[in-house]
Chains A and B, each alone.
Chain A
Amino acid sequence: MQRVIKAEGRRQQAEVVSYFCLLLSAFCLSSGADCTAISALACGTTAASLTSSDCTASDGSQYRLWQFSGKSGDSVTIEMHSTAFDTYLALLDPSGVPVADSDDAAAGVTDSTITFTLTTTGTWTVVANSLAASQTGNYTISLSCPSATTPRRRAVVH
């Protein structure tokens, strides 16, 4: 079966950004170059760093946008881990509507986890964010893609 979540290669990153700017031209012009930075989120774990030059949310915290393609009905899990800061994750649907978020994955843990069943097919956006302002540093972000299922082999009768 075809893998239902398509990891977008880095070569597609520029296309994603361009598409975003085409739709939201004034946004791209007005919000500064840093906020147009959208990275493709591949299946598996990606190492990254949150810095003061990343996008700034209204609470003064920094965030980075990651995007992946998914199909309606797919169940995905997104995890963000950092030893440098308290993480916060949000998931935006293809229209930009925030549909899920996560502060702490469990009691006593400052990492974040979202498990969500996609409600529509399209490009979904993950907001990798620090919970509070002035929190930056290295982190990892993971996307679990539905595993490909192997069709059951039929017995061959000769």
Chain B
Amino acid sequence: MPVNRRELLLGVAAGFSLPVKAIAQAITPLDITKNVCTLTCAQTLGPCYYAANLIRQDITEGEVGLPTLISFLVVDADTCVPIENAAIDIWHTNAKGVYSAPINQMCNPGDALARTKTFTRGIQMTDPRGWAHFNTVFPGWYSGRTTHIHATVRRNGSEMVTTQFYFDDSLTNFIYKNHVNYLSRPNRDTTNSSDNVIGGAASRVAPFLFTTKLINDRSLVALKVIAIRSSRTTCNA
């Protein structure tokens, strides 16, 4: 029987020890108010993009996992002014580390059902204050990559930047080892410090890290500022 969101939430709370304060101490707090206008550099598109063109805030399509709200603030890197009507196109894996859509089979190996779906993909436009929000689940991992979320930002149909964003390793490890929907695969093989896209050093991940708030161990919000220019970003991480 499929497990719904409520059941999984209760399962997390009832079944596992959840030392929030230990996690809080392990994670270096990030202040979203600092360096918000630093240009967001590009990272590889990767092979798993699919032009689903789904404009929607809730991208779960019934997928189970830690409920996660991702909020992006898009600003002008030169003026720090929030940018309205920027399109943010994101895509990531489900809790099992599988991408949806009929794309390169390395993105959903052996999962024919996933190839028929479009879960955890969506587009949102930034509001007058520059914010865009997605309701999703925390992504699972697959071999060779650290946990990540892809994003492309466009203005008036033109790509401004394509990049990837990451979570603090301590938080990711905690979720994989404690949440019912990730417990079957608790030990990932790649972290931020060993990920080849990031570049193999923890210091290189800092500009791409979400600020995360795990609330009562059952709800996650992730915040990230994306700073763009009026033309496509050329810096590469």
B192 — which chain A residues lie within 8 A by C-beta? none
Q: 1/0 per position for A86-104, CB-CB distance to B under 8 A? A: 1010101001111111011
The CA-CA distance from A16 to B179 in the complex, in Å, is 25
Q: Which of B10, B29, B69, B131 is within 8 Å of A60, CB to CB?
A: B29
**Contact between B13 and A24 (Cβ–Cβ < 8 Å)?**
yes
A31 at interface by CB-CB < 8 Å: yes
Interface-lining segment among B14-22, B41-49, B114-122, B150-158: B14-22
B219 at interface by CB-CB < 8 Å: yes
**Contact between B33 and A26 (Cβ–Cβ < 8 Å)?**
no
A63 — which chain B residues lie within 8 A by C-beta? 213, 215
Q: 1/0 per position for A52-92, CB-CB distance to B under 8 A? A: 00011111110101000000000000000000001010101
B69: nearest chain-A partner, CB-CB:
A98
B6: nearest chain-A partner, CB-CB:
A95
The distance from the CB of B61 to the nearest CB of chain A, in whole angstroms, is 14
Chain A-chain B contacts (Cβ-Cβ < 8 Å), number: 130
B171 at interface by CB-CB < 8 Å: yes
The CA-CA distance from A24 to B6 in the complex, in Å, is 12
| SS class, residues of chain B in contact with chain A | mixed
**Contact between B9 and A101 (Cβ–Cβ < 8 Å)?**
no
A156 at interface by CB-CB < 8 Å: no
B143 at interface by CB-CB < 8 Å: no
**Contact between B10 and A23 (Cβ–Cβ < 8 Å)?**
yes
B68 at interface by CB-CB < 8 Å: yes
Interface-lining segment among A7-15, A127-135, A143-151: A127-135
**Contact between B216 and A97 (Cβ–Cβ < 8 Å)?**
no
Interface size class of A (residues with CB under 8 A): 35 or more
The distance from the CB of B172 to the nearest CB of chain A, in whole angstroms, is 11
A19 at interface by CB-CB < 8 Å: no
Q: Which of A55, A65, A95, A103 is within 8 Å of B223, CB to CB?
A: A103
**Contact between B25 and A60 (Cβ–Cβ < 8 Å)?**
yes
The distance from the CB of A119 to the nearest CB of chain B, in whole angstroms, is 10
**Contact between A103 and B73 (Cβ–Cβ < 8 Å)?**
yes
**Contact between A27 and B18 (Cβ–Cβ < 8 Å)?**
yes
A35 at interface by CB-CB < 8 Å: yes
A132-B33 contact, Cβ under 8 Å, with A26-B14, A90-B221, A92-B215: yes
A25-B24 contact, Cβ under 8 Å, with A59-B213, A132-B29: no
What residues make up the interface of A, taking CB atoms closer than 8 Å to B? 23-27, 30-32, 35, 55-61, 63, 65, 86, 88, 90, 92, 95-101, 103-104, 106-107, 127, 129, 131-134
Can you offer 14 A-B residue contacts whose CB atoms are under 8 A? A25-B14, A26-B14, A27-B216, A27-B217, A27-B218, A31-B216, A56-B20, A58-B24, A58-B171, A61-B213, A88-B213, A101-B69, A103-B32, A106-B129
What residues make up the interface of B, taking CB atoms closer than 8 Å to A? 5-6, 9-10, 13-21, 23-25, 27, 29-33, 67-69, 71, 73, 82, 129, 131, 133, 135, 168, 171, 174, 211-221, 223
